[in-house]
Amino acid sequence: MRVPLSWLREYVDLPATETGRDVQAKLISAGLEVETVEQLGDGLKGPLVVGQVLTIEELEGFKKPIRFCTVNVGTANGTGEPQEIVCGARNFAVGDKVVVVLPGAELPGGFAISARKTYGKTSHGMICSSDELGMGDDGTKGIIVLPPETEVGKDAIELLELVDEVLDIAVTANRGDCLSIRGVARETAIAYGLPLRDPALLDVPGPNAYGYPVQVSEPYGCDRFTARTVSGLSPEARSPIWLKRRLQKVGMRPISLAVDITNYVMMELGQPLHAYDRKLVQGTIGVRRAGEGEKIVTLDGVERKLHAEDLVITDDRGPIGLAGVMGGANTEIADHEEGEGTTDVVIEAAHFDAVSIARTARRHKLSSEASRRFERGVDPAAAAAAAQRTVDLLVLLAGGTADAGVTEIAAPSAPHTIAVPADHPDKVAGVEYGRETVVRRLQQVGCDVYGQDELIVTVPSWRPDLTEVNDLAEEVIRLEGYENLPSTLPKPPSGRGLTHRQRLHRRVGRALAGAGYVEAPNYPFVGEQVFDQLLLEADDPARRVVKLTNPLNDEEPALRTSLLPGLLGALRRNDGRGSHDLALFETGLVFRPRETRGTAARLPVDRRPTDEEIAGLNAVLPEQPRHVAAVLAGAREQAGWWGKGRPADWADAIEAARAVAREAGVELVVRGGQYGPWHPGRCAELVVVTDGAETVVGHAGELHPRVVKAFGVPARTCAMELDLDAVEAVGDDTPQAPGISTFPVATQDVALVVDRFVPHADVEAALREGAGELLEAIRLFDVYENAEQLGDGKKSLAYALRFRAGDRTLTVDEASAARDAAVALAGERTGAVLRG
């Protein structure tokens, strides 16, 4: 929300010496996020005056149209003679009043003006556009043409209010009242302890039977609707300069007088309005839900197919507006320059349901200034005042006549009251404010407060976000100043620290970071098309997703079941920005829907939920196991004087999984596998064994070329993903001190020839079991394939076996016997034979 300081001063008598920076500091202290203070006209220096075009000479022989003009600027140039100016704009004519900057002046951005020769003429100054003066968009894309009655020679800096300060406030979702000058003025008045001149305090006539007919068929979606009519508007009437400038300062483009007035009142009071051309409205105005299949062309010229949940404004023909979002083109106010101008208007000031408007705006991807306000909460009591303010301005500026009829339809409602202990803010903040301070601060916000030890607080209509006692406590605390809260560290009870799961999570992160991986957290949202890109089977459980009712992005409406899509997206972005040697990892939750859906009960906030309540909540939430995943591309070891380096490959992905398993105290069984995104011949299945039962906990290896292409990542990208919770469940990460034997080791090497398709893991398992208790360690140190020496379809696996006994020195015969037993069992199970 952009708030001009000059407009703010109309409602709060700020000290003359207060600057925008001073107001910013006060509002930030009160809890508003004032991001910047824009200095309008910074660096602007006159003379900048109003001039009248006397003559225009079209210059020929140039690539673009050029005009040589003489302009009367009065005595502003010191001579009283016409000023000669070269200009390329075409949107003005002889007799028009324009803005002229004379030699010696300086425009924003340090652009100094001087007489200079151009296009064969000497130009003594410049005729200005709104962009050149930093005024914002005025809709003309050309020279500023002023009203005919503007005085020649008048100071344009003052006339156009070019010097001002504008506060840019990031309004949070719960403070819809601050999306208006009125709301920010109220906060400013409280911050300075000054009275507020409320622009909504107007004399408003009561409803009668003569107003424009309105029928509200959906009172839940529209609990208040005010309609006023103004007749006899002058089609030639234009928005005055002060009105246009205020709209430009708050970031809106002037359009036409009637539209500008409704926008002005919306920015002033926070109440969105809409003006209908009365001649184009047929019959009674209605408010209802859309019929399935109905269509409407909105003011932006787009035909939209309506949804049954959309709230619409109708006449006898059908929809004429998306309620609270945008009006329809079939009742649009007509500008005089576009044909016969609008002379009679119907003003709509209504209050719509916030959730309904938010869903309609997102469903149609149509966010507007009106929908932004309704989504965050609009003061329902301001509708009649906003309509009256609009009527008054139309009568004043367009010469219209306010019809006597006033239509106001309002659903029965009672003010919201909250009972709160007077010392509740003290308990929340840990500061003793006292009852008087609590009552004073709540009254400043606009609450009616009664009672002594227990206060009965009636919430003002413009603060729908105040719903319970803690909201009231927050108001007191923020107005007293968050900076005044004492800084005290909590004292945790002894003996408590990180949980086992948290400690494992941190160790895993440190282990992968130590191995050269960079952590890359990602959003947990995905689109279901990623499962096709990952080549998952149609019946894969990972395709069952939890869908969000209100997603941040319609293209990613589901919660992830794998960490790989996010990591691959991060890999693609970094590779596209020139980082080609990448190793990324992430630990995070994945989400799996339960077989049966349930509804979670709302837990209390005034006490700790019971174990049964927490268990009931967890029972309806989706399963959320923690996974760990890593992706690699480019070089794993850099080339240099020390050697050639090497690219990342499938073995690195497997080693990353093993590093994670070691932190959990688990030994992974690695064997050949095939799953979704991995290359069929370069995929390892990662298994843990518990009580003789095997459980697949993940996969690692090189990604399938089709997956690489679908995600736009480098060729030969490798990845691994593990179910960290499943690994933790079978692990024992109790630190184990290494056993140091005083007896020597006996080493035996064996080279076994097996069929090429036999996995190394099966051979190793057979060797390990056959060698018995004397085997201390086994290591594969060579894989050899040669059809001439080994035969077709064969490979040689060479292992180093380390034998040791804890109570004696092994003899050669004992070590050889253990080796022979291992080879024998490997031959029996895998068909392995000793090479050579």
- State pLDDT tens for residues 529-544: 999 999 999 999 999 9
CA dihedral 735, 740, 746, 750 (to 10 degrees): 10
Task: Give 332-381 pLDDT, tens digit per residue.
Answer: 887 655 557 789 999 999 999 999 999 999 999 999 999 999 999 999 99
In angstroms, the Cα distances linking 227 to 224, 278, 410, 461, 601 are: 10, 12, 12, 20, 42
Element housing 635 (H / E): strand 635-637
Spatial contact of 162 and 253, defined as CB atoms under 8 Å apart: no
Output the six-digit token pair for 68: 């040589």
Res 138 pLDDT > 80: no
Say which residues have a Cβ less than 8 Å from residue 303's Cβ, sequence separation at least 6: 295, 296, 297
Give the Cα separation of 576 and 342 in Å (integer).
Answer: 54
Task: Give 767-800 pLDDT, tens digit per residue.
Answer: 999 999 999 999 999 999 888 888 888 999 999 9
Residue 494 pLDDT class (50, 70, 90 cuts): confident
Looking at residues 669-675, what average pLDDT do you find?
89
Give the Cα separation of 826 and 394 in Å (integer).
Answer: 96
Give the Cα separation of 386 and 267 in Å (integer).
Answer: 11
CA angle 75, 77, 82 (to 5 degrees): 80
Range from 79-93, 165-179, 622-636 carrying the lowest mean pLDDT: 79-93
Alpha helices in 691-742 (DSSP H): 705-711, 724-730
Task: Give 186-205 pLDDT, tens digit per residue.
Answer: 999 999 999 999 999 999 99
Spatial CA neighbour of 274 closest among 371, 395, 359? 371
C-alpha atoms less than 13 angstroms from C-alpha of 5 in its C-beta half-sphere: 24
Spatial CA neighbour of 261 closest among 94, 379, 395, 428? 395
The greatest distance separating any two alpha carbons of the chain, rounded to the nearest whole angstrom, comes to 121
pLDDT (0 to 100) of residue 337 = 55
Q: CB pairs under 8 A, 24+ apart, for 598-605?
A: 605/470
Task: Give 373-431 pLDDT, tens digit per residue.
Answer: 999 999 999 999 999 999 999 999 999 999 999 999 999 888 999 999 999 999 988 89
pLDDT (0 to 100) of residue 292 = 83
Q: Which amino acid is at 511?
A: A
In angstroms, the Cα distances linking 540 to 149, 196, 563, 589, 593 are: 76, 63, 16, 19, 13
Residues 67-96: b if buried by 16+ CB within 10 A, e if exposed: bbbbbbbeebbeeeebbbbbbebeebeeeb
% of the chain residues with pLDDT over 70: 99
CA dihedral 380, 384, 390, 392 (to 10 degrees): -150
Beta-sheet strand order (sheet of 454-458): 417-421, 454-458, 448-450
According to DSSP, residue 548 is labeled P
pLDDT (0 to 100) of residue 338 = 52
C-alpha atoms less than 13 angstroms from C-alpha of 57 in its C-beta half-sphere: 12
Res 235 pLDDT > 90: no
Output the six-digit token pair for 735: 């630190």
Looking at residues 445-454, what average pLDDT do you find?
93
Give the Cα separation of 529 and 538 in Å (integer).
Answer: 12
In angstroms, the Cα distances linking 447 to 457, 470, 683 are: 6, 15, 66
The more confident residue out of 324 and 338 is 324
Alpha helices in 408-483 (DSSP H): 424-429, 435-445, 469-480
pLDDT (0 to 100) of residue 454 = 93
**Backbone angles phi and psi of 496, in degrees to 5:** -115, 140
CA dihedral 378, 384, 388, 394 (to 10 degrees): 60
Res 675 pLDDT > 80: yes
Residue 495 pLDDT class (50, 70, 90 cuts): confident
pLDDT (0 to 100) of residue 534 = 95
Task: List, in sequence order, every residue forming a beta bridge with 33; answer none if it has no partner.
Answer: 170
pLDDT (0 to 100) of residue 797 = 93
According to DSSP, residue 298 is labeled B
Res 605 pLDDT > 60: yes
The DSSP annotation for 642-699 comes to TB--EE--HHHHHHHHHHHHHHHT-PPEEEE---TTEEEEEEEEEEEEETTEEEEEEE
Q: How many helices (H) and strands (E) does the chain have?
A: 22, 42
pLDDT (0 to 100) of residue 336 = 53
Spatial contact of 188 and 12, defined as CB atoms under 8 Å apart: yes
Spatial contact of 733 and 665, defined as CB atoms under 8 Å apart: yes
Spatial CA neighbour of 364 closest among 334, 318, 328? 328
Residue 474 pLDDT class (50, 70, 90 cuts): very high
Output the six-digit token pair for 684: 């390892």
**Rg of the Cα atoms in the chain:** 38
Res 168 pLDDT > 90: yes
pLDDT (0 to 100) of residue 404 = 92
**Backbone angles phi and psi of 643, in degrees to 5:** 160, -175
